[in-house]
A = this chain, B = another copy of it.
């Protein structure tokens, strides 16, 4: 793989990303200053195909990058893009609001990223399970309603309105919360489950129903939807590879399934990751690429951030955006 092959591969991928049409040798010679004739480029392209970096839809068409080609492009050729000032400003100002709820950040982030990239974007909240309980309290709301407020050691605050049985007056609830906090402070959320349901905890068991409720909520089984935010799904309709409704259904359907969360959460390492086409080994998104990044809340509790697009994605731009946003988000969530 000499320097000229790299230049040809780069030019071809750039062109294909821009046009979505198979690229021929003449086009490359004309539009990119490679300094050689179409015939020479043809030879290089034949080599690149043999090496597995390019594919030919049919004999008389131009060539198209393969997964391996994109991979080489992303890893070895492409240079990171410097975001322009407007984009940076946009990212910096995105979180300058006084709201402090996690789901708001998630939602805002997904929207920001999908607007900047023009691809669908998905943001997954860090699993509560890894955090530990810092404080639980109830705020009576009159009638039989109560607001349950939970804080974790990572500084996250979640709350939810519940209806409680009549017998629980304000005083009782307060004692309940105190007991609970005293008993379980510092315990990881995912441990709470077994602890609470343990029948030996006699003192607690009187309120089991209430705890059960609280637990379901805390562990996120209850309103799992809030933990994931999808933005800009329709952006995908702008790309010609999705002119077929069947493909659209598969891809958008995939974004609504649990599988996404699993997939995204699998990449636990820091930094920006790229998954190209079949590398995901998921049928529904064979024709798509993913760019993912992580962000942190407080300690090591980690959330995920993802962009999905066609394989001919603007990798460098998307990667820069995703990186900048995840850094900003981590910064904001730390303060």
Contacts and interface: CB of A to CB of B under 8 A. Distances in A.
B242 A145 contact: no
Given A107-B225, A242-B245, 5 more contacts: A98-B162, A99-B162, A100-B161, A101-B161, A245-B248
Contact of A249 (B98, B164, B237, B256): B237
A202 interface: no
A234 B213 contact: no
Interface string A131-164: 0000101010111010101010001010111111
A223 interface: yes
Contact of A149 (B141, B213, B242): B141
Given A147-B157, A159-B161, A245-B248, A222 B99 contact: yes
A234 B155 CA distance: 37
Contacts of A245: 237, 242-245, 248
Interface string A213-226: 10001000011010
A160 B248 contact: no
A252 interface: yes
A90 B293 CA distance: 40
A104 interface: yes
Give the size category of A's interface with B: 35 or more
Interface in A234-254: 234, 237, 242-245, 248-249, 252-253
Contacts of A97: 222
Given A98-B213, A234-B256, A223 B162 contact: no
17 contacts: A98-B162, A98-B163, A98-B164, A99-B161, A100-B161, A100-B163, A101-B161, A104-B223, A147-B159, A157-B161, A159-B159, A159-B161, A234-B249, A234-B253, A234-B256, A237-B248, A245-B248
Interface in A97-128: 97-101, 104, 107
A160 B104 CA distance: 10
Nearest to A242: B245
Contacts of A147: 139, 147, 149, 157, 159
Contacts of A151: 141-142
Contact of A223 (B98, B99, B155): B99
